[in-house]
Every structure is written in structure tokens, then in C-alpha cells.
Structure 1
Amino acid sequence: MIKQSRIYTDQELANGLFNGDEYAFQCIYERYAKALYRSAYQLLNDKELCEDLIQELFINLWIKRDVLHISSLKPYLYISMKNQVLMAVRRKKYLLNEELLLELKASETIEDYVHTKELQQSFQKEIDLLPKRCKEIFSLSRIEQLSNREIAERLQISIKTVENQMTIALRAMRIFLQHFLLLTIFLFPF
């Protein structure tokens, strides 16, 4: 349970939200609602619609709190807002400045860039946590695109050792990426 006596990190707030903590939800709202509103208003130039989108975003966040596994709160919220804006544009057929619409569809906002960089850094940190030999084999396989046989020949080890080390590495990466899968399914339903 989040206590009101200190400032919490985004991850602590996301965890509190997942556990149904109303104060964590309130902190998330107070921390991000205005910035998300400005982001939407910049594109839509419609005060009432932007207020409605903010409400809708936070209502959905609360309703779906127990199924969301948010690893990076800020990027998650900005991507959700971007999707809300796109849906509003489709529903209302708002006329947007063509340049802003292209920018929005390209998903090259600062928030998306930051999220991508954070993901890359987190992924690299996870790779760096692998044992030395496992990390080396994983890099040869995934970065240099060598086959198991080529890796075994280069490192003068058996193919079975390469396979075992790749199993360890891929298991670690799979665990790391699991929480991103749920987010992707939520944001981009079939």
C-alpha cells in the first residue's frame, strides 16, 4: 500500500495501481494528466474533447489495472493517449494539420523515442546480466547472425554447449520481454 508521506517512482505507482491502490492512481493522475492533456490539445485543439480523452484514459487505466503489467508508466500513458487521439480523429473525423497527423502516425514523438531508448537500455542490461560465455554465444547468434555450428567452431566448443547456452539466454530474454507482450496486446488488439 502506498503511503502519502513521500514521492514515489513511476514503477512503485504502477505496482500500487496493479494492486488496486487508489492513492497510487491519484498520484499517477496528478503527475501526468496535465502533460497528457497538453499533448492531446496540441493535436486536436479542442478543450472539451481533450478533457474527455483524459477522463477516458484514466477510467480505462483504473478498470484494467489488475490485468495491466506496466513496466514503463510514462511511455505507456503517452502511447495510450496517442491511441485515444487517433480513435477520436477516426470517430469525429477531426481536421488536423496534415503535418501533425503524419507525425502522430509515424509515432516519432519524444515520448516514443524515450520509450524505445529505455527499452533498448533495459534489454542491454538484461543481456549484460548473462554469464560471460552465455552472453558471448547470444551475441554471436543474434547480432552476428552465426549458426550454432559456426559459433561452436569459432569458440571451439560443442554444438550442444552452444544450444544449452542459447536456451539459457533465450529463457532470460523471454522472461524479460513477457511484460511487454501484454502491453502490446492491450495497445494493438487484433
Structure 2
Amino acid sequence: MQQESGSSEVSLWTACREGDQSAFGCLFDLHKDRVFRHAFRLLADRSDAEDILGTVFFELWRKRDTVHVVDGSLLPWLLLTATNSALNLRRATRRYRHLLSRLPREDHELSAEDQVYLRSNGLSPELDDALRGLNPTDQGLVALVIIEGYPIAEAAMALEIGPSVARKRLSRLRVRLRESLSGASTVDLALEGNGS
């Protein structure tokens, strides 16, 4: 049975190399599920796996004059191309995220609706602006301890830092925030927070 399916795949590939698009469609139908599953295993993202599937078959069509059947099947070439494409996508994503992390944050005005929401929840737009200037760990400390009222020990555990480190950071943060927010009384109340 393997020999028979292999010979039909070879004949499809031969027709494909001569420009037969319907033969290419048959090859796509034959291998699309295996290539998709392989890409999904590598990337764990359905959308990315679909992109890889398209890339692999695009490359197969583009390189049809140089691709050769291995043991009666194109599957080894397809899976290897999927692996290489997935690795390229990972590298590109990593480079893109690194680049984004290095870009300066864009200051933007809060909508009137967002300002109403912040004020109704005891936060001023000034505090929101001050929080945006903090690194993610400091933002987490302020959000968990000062705004939400969690104990420092729980916040430290959630942020994967030691409680003493969290206390020191929080003390410095309160001073910095008071200096930068020398105004709103709701902010002063919030900055007293839960110091436990």
C-alpha cells in the first residue's frame, strides 16, 4: 500500500513540476494536515501554524524545479521546510519584541471615558501617567499593594521577588509618586495604602 501511494505521489509531483496546478492541489490535500500538526507542535499557535503551512506550500511551488521526492514522498521535505520556517518565525518574533521593548513609550491622552473610569475607581489620570513611567515590576507593586490593597508579602510572591526587596522598592516608589503627584488628595490616600 505504501508503495502504491508513493508511486501516485511521484506521478502527482511529476505533473506538478510540469505546472499542473490541480496536481499541486492534490498534494496539498494529501499533506496539509501533517504539515499543520507539525507546525502547531513547534509553535503552539494555530494562526502561526496556518502561516507556516502556507509558507511551506508556497516554497514547494516556488522551488518545484529543485525539490526531489524522498522514498516516494514529499513529506520529509515539507516537514523540514516547516521546521525551518517555524524557527525563522520564532527568531523574527523575538527580534520584533526586542525592538519594541527598546522603543520609547508613546504618550497618549486618555479618552474622557477612561478618565471617568479612573476617577470613579479612585485613580486620577495623574497617577495613571505616573504608573506608565514605571518598570513592570514597580507597576505591579503599586497596582497590587497601593491600589488593590494586597499585603506586600503576597504581592512579592506574585511578582517573584523577595518581601524585603518589595518593601524597599515600595518605600522608594511611594516617595517618587508623592513627589510627582504633589496634588490630588485621592492619590495621597491611595499612597498610604496597605503597608503590611
Task: Give TM-score, length-normalised by structure 2.
Answer: 0.41
**Pair member with larger Rg:** 2
Task: Give TM-score, length-normalised by structure 1.
Answer: 0.42
